[in-house]
Amino acid sequence: MSTTTLRTQRELPRTRLHGRRRPGFWVEIAASALVILLPSFVASPYLMRLFQDVAIWSILALSLTLVLGFTGQISLGQAAFYAVGAYTSVILQTALGVPALLAWVVAIVLGMALAYLISVPLLRIHGHFLALGTLALGLIVETLLVQLAPITGGHDGIRIPGVEYLGEWMQLRFPYIVLGTLVAAYWLVRNLTQHSMGRAFFALRDDPAGAAALGIPVARYKTLVFMIGGGLAATAGVLYAHHTQVVTPDSFGFDTSIEVLLIVIIGGMSSRLGAVVGAVVIVFFPEWLVFLEKAENLVFGLVVLAILLFLPGGVVGGVRTFFSGLARRRETHHPEVAS
Amino acid sequence: MSTFLQLAVSGVALGSIYGLIALGFLVIYHATGLVNFAQGQLLMVGAMATYLLLMQVGLGYPLTIAGVIVVALLLALLFRYGLHRPMVSRGAPTTNMVVATIAFGLVLTAAAELFIGNTKYGVDPVFPGAPLVVGSVSIQTQSLLIVVVAWALVGAIWFFFTKTLTGVSLRAVGLNRTAAAVSGVRVSRLITIAFVISVTVTVIGGMLVAPLIGAGPEMGLAIAVKGFAAAVIGGMSSVYRGMVAGVAIGLIEMLSSYYISSAYAPVIAYAILFLALVLMPARVRQSGAHA
């Protein structure tokens, strides 16, 4: 299937200038600084809340971008790691009195540990079946959150009042922590994918057998990607718990896994910026388009179908194709467009 | 003992529905290599359409059945020509196809929530009246109907795939699309037929199950997951093995929710799916790779 190969190649992040500092590098630095400093010049608490929503969804979406977009492993259970992060952190702090920072570290490590454990059986399955397997995992965790009521609080969840557990100083600066973590997660994914290991991930996605033949340790790298993805999702969960100050099973179910998937598709599956763009779309659009109200899910579903059909690279991919199309105008006609 | 039998009867009825889902799932999977994640939502459409036509419009069952089958045909054509074929012709990778079926299911659920409402609606059974009593076990006529229709459908599909030229050609498409095309099989049309069969079977499943568990926009996922499990345990191959596996899952679900814990019964069902996937033989897993 030559068309398939060409298409995947076109969706790859551009790697031509690897090793040299692209002008894009300084844009990324500037944008990162801007994002971290956002809380100091956004006065409206409402707007700041939305920005934190965006940041948390972005981190979660980055975890899926890494697993799905870059490495081609379909995960429909990303909310499971998100839940482990949030619940571990909250339970450690509220029930056991563990200090916040330590609880966060333990929560993230536990998220990665679950990813490691689960990757062992999941390595046996690929493609569609992997999607089914991760779906089952997400559903199991979702049900356990409700049923293990003595530990998780069941449907009511657990409250974690901010000032009480974080202290006033940290509670006031929590927006900086959220946005700072987003920037850190972004750079983690960025540097990982520009590293030789990231190239190996792309190879895993595009041609697993070929990658294995080239000496890429397929199983080890898949496990690693799951673990980093699980860790990122758990991090998002930790932040979410303090952001909303309550955790309930509703926020960590199948719908959440699907919402992350929508974010990744809307933004662009193989683009780290796509995760952020998709999160902006999914957080801000319902706020602006209030008239959509109940039709929100329907509209998003249709938008995603349209993107899959007409803009498989998502918003970021579309913009990128547009600009590279402009640049190539005068060059020879591209064969892949003709095919 | 009578409790056990009572549970077993319900388990077999529910399990036959899982088997039907597995059946619909396998027909598309074998023709195209696509795992359709919207299968549960298609069942939901069947149940909701039954509710609308029967309870709201008041058509009565014969007309409702005809109407629901028309809905199934339209849905199958929409799915095939509006989504599947355009995506295949654009050379979409597996990931995108999977996401597309999920998004399609999402749209169906969202549309049902928006236009009909997000509650569970009751639907009248086909044969009203008292349940049959056999010994100490009372059997709802609807349960009996589900089992009979489900197995009749499996028989019909088996007949179609083994004894008719169209069915055999369809299997050829699934085995080797290029070779089938070279031999003069009209591949695209046969795939459309596969979609029609799959969607119709699933929608009929929804119509059958609606009087038993009600119709609601969110009903699809839980049933679909068990249907997927049935297909995987059945070896992703023959339709009747998927059906038998479906019945087994229905039985396990009913018995475990009574004898073990109703709270953890869903976890058991999901764990079965997970284990079935992980433990399935390499031969079966490889067959997914050709897509």
> Which tokens belong to B287?
């067959």
Q: Could B288 and A126 be called an inter-chain contact, meaning their C-beta atoms sit closer than 8 Å?
A: yes
B37, B278, B284: which to substitute to probe chain A, counting the most A Cβ within 10 Å?
B278
B98, B218, B249: which to substitute to probe chain A, counting the most A Cβ within 10 Å?
B98
What does chain B come to in residues? 291
**CA-based end-to-end distance of chain B:** 47
Domains of chain A: total: 1
What does chain A come to in residues? 339
Query: Predicted confidence band at B35 (pLDDT cuts at 50, 70, 90)?
Result: confident
Q: Could B90 and A135 be called an inter-chain contact, meaning their C-beta atoms sit closer than 8 Å?
A: no
> Which tokens belong to A293?
């109200």
Query: Is residue A10 situated within a structural domain?
Result: no
Query: Is residue A192 situated within a structural domain?
Result: yes
Percent of residues, chain B, with pLDDT higher than 70:
96
Kindly state the average pLDDT of the residues B180-185: 84
pLDDT confidence of residue B289: 37
How many other C-beta atoms are found inside a 10 Å radius of the C-beta of residue B213?
A: 16
CA of A302 vs chain B CAs: smallest distance (Å): 7
10-residue averages of pLDDT along chain A (339 residues): 43 50 77 85 85 93 89 88 93 86 92 92 82 90 87 84 78 87 91 84 83 85 91 94 88 89 86 88 82 79 88 82 75 49
Which residues in chain B have Cβ-Cβ distances shorter than 8 Å to A258?
Answer: 102, 106
pLDDT confidence of residue A33: 85
Which residue would you say has higher pLDDT here, B285 or B207?
B207
Q: Could B87 and A309 be called an inter-chain contact, meaning their C-beta atoms sit closer than 8 Å?
A: yes
- Do residues A140 and B267 lie in contact, with contact meaning Cβ atoms separated by under 8 Å? yes
> Which tokens belong to A111?
């998220």
Helix (H) or strand (E) holding B151: helix B141-163
What is the gyration radius of the CA atoms in chain A, in angstroms?
A: 20
Domain coverage including residue B26: 2-287
Query: Is residue A232 situated within a structural domain?
Result: yes
B63 interfaces chain A, CB cutoff of 8 Å: no
Residue of A nearest to B227 (CA): A132
B132-134 and A246-247 beta bridge pairing:
unpaired
pLDDT confidence of residue A2: 38
- Read off the pTM: 0.85
DSSP-assigned beta bridge partners for residue B138 = B133
Q: Could B271 and A140 be called an inter-chain contact, meaning their C-beta atoms sit closer than 8 Å?
A: yes
Q: What is the CATH number of the domain that holds B130?
A: 1.10.3470
Cα–Cα distance measured from residue B137 to residue A280, given in angstroms and rounded to the nearest whole number: 57
Q: What is the CATH number of the domain that holds A95?
A: 1.10.3470
Helix (H) or strand (E) holding B261: none
Q: Could A129 and B106 be called an inter-chain contact, meaning their C-beta atoms sit closer than 8 Å?
A: no
DSSP-assigned beta bridge partners for residue B132 = B139
CA nearest neighbour of B264 among A162, A16, A15, A146: A146
Query: Predicted confidence band at B284 (pLDDT cuts at 50, 70, 90)?
Result: low
CA of B66 vs chain A CAs: smallest distance (Å): 27
Cα–Cα distance measured from residue B242 to residue B250, given in angstroms and rounded to the nearest whole number: 12
Provide CB contacts within 8 A for B49, sequence distance 6+.
Answer: B67, B68, B71, B203, B206, B207
- Do residues B276 and A146 lie in contact, with contact meaning Cβ atoms separated by under 8 Å? no
Cα–Cα distance measured from residue B171 to residue B187, given in angstroms and rounded to the nearest whole number: 11
Domain coverage including residue A252: 27-338
Amino acid at B284: V
What is the gyration radius of the CA atoms in chain B, in angstroms?
A: 19
B133 interfaces chain A, CB cutoff of 8 Å: no
CA of A201 vs chain B CAs: smallest distance (Å): 15
pLDDT confidence of residue B3: 83
Residue of B nearest to A261 (CA): B99
Which residues in chain B have Cβ-Cβ distances shorter than 8 Å to A126?
Answer: 285, 288-289
Q: Would the pLDDT of B270 be above 50?
A: yes
Q: Would the pLDDT of B175 be above 90?
A: no
pLDDT confidence of residue A330: 55
Domains of chain B: total: 1
pLDDT confidence of residue B283: 58
CA of B113 vs chain A CAs: smallest distance (Å): 9
Closest residue to A136, CB basis, from B99, B113, B270: B270
Q: Could A294 and B225 be called an inter-chain contact, meaning their C-beta atoms sit closer than 8 Å?
A: no
Distances (CA, A) of B289 to A127, A250, B39, B109, B156: 8, 35, 21, 30, 29
Q: Could A131 and B271 be called an inter-chain contact, meaning their C-beta atoms sit closer than 8 Å?
A: no
Instruction: Decide if the complex's ipTM is over 0.90.
Output: no
Kindly state the average pLDDT of the residues B19-23: 90
CA of A175 vs chain B CAs: smallest distance (Å): 33
Q: Which residues of A5-23 are buried (b: 16+ CB within 10 A; e: fewer)?
A: ebbbebbebeeeeeeeeee
